[in-house]
Chains A and B, each alone.
Chain A
Amino acid sequence: MRLREFGGFAASALIAGAVLWSFVTTDVELSRLMSAGPRIAGFLGRMFPPDPTVMAEIMKGSAETLRIAILGSLGATVLSIPLGILASETMVSRAVFRPIRMLLAFIRAIPLILVAMLMVGAVGLGPLPGIIAIAFHATGMLAKFYAEAIDGVSRAPIAALESAGAGPLVRLRHAIWPQMAPVVARDTIFRFELNLRESLILGIVGAGGIGFYIQTYVRSFQYDKAASVTIAVVLMVIAIEGINVALRRRFA
């Protein structure tokens, strides 16, 4: 009991210390926040009314973002099928799935925007670095999901096919795949939604898509145009979510 009380006290002290440290050492000038009111109003004022003349750019950027998400998701799916198999304890030995799982965790730990910046450096500006970045980043999650789908199926039919003389890949195809197919469909759609959402901002680092226009208009102080693009992005996210809810109901 004593020890628990001390533990609670120590945790509180630690949290308070962390908050205090952040306040003191970061330049949080609350005075600036006080005087920011008029400036924010001015900023918002310059955003309104949103400029509808950028419709063509919005359509062009959205279409490119959609293409990046589609091709990036395709790349991630193609990479995730073998990696998912190699990360499942049903299909391979511990000596194989352990290092593959570590590799996937490492991939997941790298933020997408960082991968995109590196890819822009490697292959130049445009949608290609965006596609590669999405494919790479999404594989970290999707291969893990596929492995979990393989390991989540009922084992009895696998044993039955083994008893009938079927090899490991034949068992995967005829005993595991029919059971995991709906899970794979759901997970892939979920990851596609995330890819589309995340690829909206890729243009900010020059990796293609609608984010390019937000960055361009903000940098050149054309806030009314930036506002139009922002509204388009918000509408797209809402639309994606609507489609996804409908699809999830279908695959539930």
Chain B
Amino acid sequence: MSIAAQIDDLSFAHLGTDLPALDRVSLFVPAGESVALLGPSGAGKTTLLALLDGRLQGWAGRVSVLGAPLDPDHPPPRARRPDTGFVFQEFALVERSTVLRNVLNGRLGRMSPLRALLGSPTAHDLGIARTALADCGIADLAERRVDSLSGGQRQRVAIARCLAQEPRLILADEPVSNLDPARAGEILALLTAAARARGATAMFSSHQPDLARRFAQRIIGIRGGRIVFDVPTSELNEDATADLYRDPKPMPGIGLRAVS
């Protein structure tokens, strides 16, 4: 069985802080699995996903992605970057460009340097972009400018760009946090279906346990930079989930009023 991600004893603190964003995390994700990272805001979900995408340096531990080790001090070589696709929470689209242009931007790492610079995709690149648009249900929006789209449509463009990259590992950071529940279900359904159809591994973060349960085979609970539980979806424990979101330890003297 090939491996999508293997993490051993990973710790990381953001620059200028002592508090670890990730604290001795170990994790093994086989290829083809669909994994949800569940946890409150600030738990370390985004940090873990960005690190797997090769965008964070200065961590300790051992991490390998798609069989190749990550260097804790340097970003991965450019040729390897298209293999991990990232869906950004705030979409990170070029607002003044068309939907098709934005999706083709996902192809830039796969094109020859000259074609990438000139922005002249081959028929093959265009075919992949069109398929990604169709899979995300936005084929009819191809020529629209992104700044004229709704939030749900933008999220679909962001996913289509990631799919056009032909990643073997898809990392999605809160892909539905900006959407209403019905839209959120649709988006996660198409994201996980598209990953499955392409044989890609999908890891998405969420703070909604019901969505994680519906669309992931495995759920990892994170709190305070540590993995609290790591279970197949069928074994998800309600108490453990509730515990994930409990308030931090009440501090003495706050919230209590002295009664004379």
Q: Verify B108–A166 contact, CB threshold 8 A.
A: yes
Q: Verify B109–A160 contact, CB threshold 8 A.
A: no
Task: Name B118's closest neighbour in chain A (CB-CB).
Answer: A173
With a cutoff of 8 Å between Cβ atoms, the chain B residues found around residue A15 in the complex are none
Question: In the assembly, what is the distance between CA of A184 and CA of B183, in Å?
Answer: 38
Contact of A173 among B92, B110, B117 (CB under 8 A): B117
Q: How far is the CB of B200 from chain A (nearest CB, A)?
A: 15
Assess A175 versus B94: contact at CB under 8 Å? Given A156-B88, A165-B79, A166-B116: yes
Question: In the assembly, what is the distance between CA of A84 and CA of B257, in Å?
Answer: 60
Q: Verify B78–A156 contact, CB threshold 8 A.
A: no
With a cutoff of 8 Å between Cβ atoms, the chain B residues found around residue A166 in the complex are 105, 108-109, 116
- Interface of chain A, main secondary structure: helix
With a cutoff of 8 Å between Cβ atoms, the chain A residues found around residue B105 in the complex are 157, 160-161, 164, 166, 174-175
With a cutoff of 8 Å between Cβ atoms, the chain B residues found around residue A163 in the complex are 53-55, 81, 84-86
| A178 close to B (CB within 8 Å) | yes
With a cutoff of 8 Å between Cβ atoms, the chain A residues found around residue B88 in the complex are 156, 159-160
Q: Verify B161–A165 contact, CB threshold 8 A.
A: no
| B96 close to A (CB within 8 Å) | yes
Q: How many residues of A contact B (CB 8 A)?
A: 21
| B82 close to A (CB within 8 Å) | yes
| B237 close to A (CB within 8 Å) | no
Question: In the assembly, what is the distance between CA of A173 and CA of B82, in Å?
Answer: 18
With a cutoff of 8 Å between Cβ atoms, the chain A residues found around residue B161 in the complex are 160, 164
15 contacts between A and B (CB under 8 A): A160-B93, A160-B105, A161-B108, A162-B81, A163-B84, A163-B85, A163-B86, A164-B85, A164-B161, A170-B113, A170-B116, A174-B94, A174-B101, A178-B94, A179-B96
Given A163-B53, A164-B109, A174-B94, 15 other A-B residues pairs in contact with their CB atoms under 8 A = A154-B95, A156-B88, A156-B92, A157-B105, A162-B81, A163-B85, A163-B86, A164-B85, A165-B82, A170-B113, A174-B116, A174-B119, A178-B97, A179-B95, A182-B96
Listed from nearest, the 7 A-B pairs whose CB atoms lie closest are A165-B109, A156-B92, A165-B81, A160-B92, A166-B108, A165-B82, A170-B116
Chain A contacts to B: CB under 8 angstroms: 154, 156-157, 159-167, 169-170, 173-175, 178-179, 181-182
